[in-house]
Each structure stands twice: as structure tokens, then as C-alpha cells.
Amino acid sequence: EALWLIVPAAGQGRRMGGDRPKQYLSLAGRPVLVHTLERLHRAYPRASLRLCLAPDDPWFDPAWVPFERWQRIAGGSERADSVLNALEELANRAAADDWVLVHDVARPCVHPDDLQRLLEVLAEEPVGGLLAMPVADTMKRADARGRVTATESREGLWHALTPQAFRYGLLRDALHGARERGVRVTDEASAIEALGLAPRLVPARRDNLKITHPEDLSLAARIFAVQAEEGKVPG
Ligand code: CTP
Ligand code: MG
């Protein structure tokens, strides 16, 4: 079985509001995208990469890609469209039961232990799964004016992280189905769930931060430092 990696990196980073998309902002001296690709490459050195980039992206440098086999894919208007474009490019290459791992370029802190554990769990999973983290805070529901209408039980609630990994044929069918029905999906797992299947949650470390807001860049730099002190991750 081949392992395919899809990294959606065609976003604009609007919430970050930088002078360029957040994947090109500097984190510990190098673009966020470089960190993310290097972590994936160290964990999955023989995988083939599909990197989704905005068609008019002036920031990307192909010298940053550490993978031997990779291709650039034109991103779409939503994250799911970018991923589906990559899946379509694989139509004549991937087998239906090949694993496809999708990982946000904006998650450079994903730990090698989690990348390894995800693959180990998948070895005994027919459907697929994703890194996830149990919710720690009390959860409130509110109206549009910010008044609490209910306190929700956090029992059984998890944060969905990436990578998310599914069999090629299943994931392609799931995302096609979502597009055809006009359902907006923000991750791969929700498209799989819409088929009536139950993705496996793989408990992840708490430091798989998605860089979203300006303060996240310095947080991510601190996470790198802590991970380097723990070992396993080069400083
Ligand atoms: N992404 C993508 N194609 C899109 C939109 C998003 O490939 N049309 C990617 C982003 O590059 C990111 C991931 O999907 O790696 C998660 O998206 P998000 O964190 O929302 O990033 P942005 O869309 O760039 O940020 P924002 O929503 O603040 O504009
Ligand atoms: Mg977005």
C-alpha cells in the first residue's frame, strides 16, 4: 500500500492578517510551511506529497519541499475543494485502499510520536481516523448577542485535529458526495461521517496548535522549544 500525503496550503490566513498568508510567516527563523513539511517528511519519508497552493501564490519556493515524490496542486475556494482537487489528481495513481493522510500546513507543531501513533492505529482500522483531543473547558452555547443559553456537557466532546487519514476511494467518494449535496465540510472526517461511518479518534498531545491568530506564532515557537527539551524533535 502506498501512503499519500495531502497538505492543504491554499488559504489566505485572513484571521492572522499578516503581509502574506500565514504559512509563509516566519516561525523560529523559517516559514511555517517548511516546519510542517519537514515534520511530515521525518515521520513518513517514503510518502508522496500533494501540496495544495493558491494558483497565483507568489511566495512558494519548491526548494522547501523535502519529499522525493511530490506535486503541486491548484487549491480551491474552500479547504475541502483544495483536498478534493488533490484527490482527483491521484485518480490514476492511487489504489482504492491506499491510505491518504491530510494535514493542515498551519499545524507545524504536530509531534512525531502522534504521527507515528496515528499510523499504528490505522493498521487495525478499516475506515480511518484522526488525531483528536478531549475538550477540557466547560462548554457554553450562546445567542448571537453573546448571552449564554445553555451549558453543554463536555462528556464525549473532542477537538478534531490533523492529520486525518482515510482510504483513498472512501475519502474521494465522501468529499464528492458532500460537494454534490452542497454540504460544507470543514474536515475530512465529517464527510466520512455523512456516509454513516465512524472514524476512529486517536488521542493526541495537547500541543498540536493550529496557527490562526497573530499570538499563535510566538506560542508555536515556545512549543518547539519545549518539544526540543523533551528530545525526539531537533531544536
Ligand atoms: N486551506 C486550503 N484551501 C482553502 C482554504 C484553506 O488549502 N481554500 C488550508 C489552509 O492553508 C490551512 C488549512 O486549510 O492549512 C486550514 O485552514 P485555516 O486554518 O482556516 O487557514 P486559512 O483559511 O488560511 O485562514 P483563515 O481562515 O483565517 O483565512
Ligand atoms: Mg480558513
Cα separation of 87 and 176, whole Å?
10
Of 128, 114, 108, 117, the residue nearest 4 (C-alpha): 128
Query: How would residue 207 be classed by pLDDT, with cut points 50, 70 and 90?
Result: very high
Phi-psi sector, 214: left (phi>0), alpha (psi -120 to 50), beta? alpha
Query: How would residue 232 be classed by pLDDT, with cut points 50, 70 and 90?
Result: confident
C-alpha of residue 186 to centroid of ligand 2, in Å: 9
pLDDT digits (tens, 9 = 90+) for 94-139: 999 999 999 999 999 999 999 999 999 999 999 999 999 999 999 9
C-alpha of residue 11 to centroid of ligand 2, in Å: 6
Domain enclosing residue 7, as ranges: 3-230
pLDDT digits (tens, 9 = 90+) for 4-37: 999 999 999 999 999 999 999 999 999 999 999 9
Is 67 part of any domain? yes
Query: How would residue 70 be classed by pLDDT, with cut points 50, 70 and 90?
Result: very high
Q: Which atom of ligand 1 is nearest to the CA of 107?
A: 15
For ligand 2, an ion, list residues with CB under 5 A.
11
DSSP state letters, 93-125: TS-TTSEEEE--TT-TT--HHHHHHHHHHHTT-
Is 143 part of any domain? yes
pLDDT digits (tens, 9 = 90+) for 146-174: 999 999 999 999 999 999 999 999 999 99
Read off the pTM.
0.97
pLDDT at 235 over 80: no
CATH number at residue 85: 3.90.550.10
- Give the per-residue pLDDT at 69: 98
Residues with CB under 6 A from ligand 1: 8-16, 21, 23, 52, 75-79, 82, 104-106, 210, 212
Of 153, 151, 134, the residue nearest 142 (C-alpha): 151
Q: Are strands 26-27 and 30-31 parallel, antiparallel or unpaired?
A: antiparallel
Q: Which atom of ligand 1 is nearest to the CA of 8?
A: 7
Is 22 part of any domain? yes
Is 235 part of any domain? no
What total number of domains does the chain contain? Answer: 1
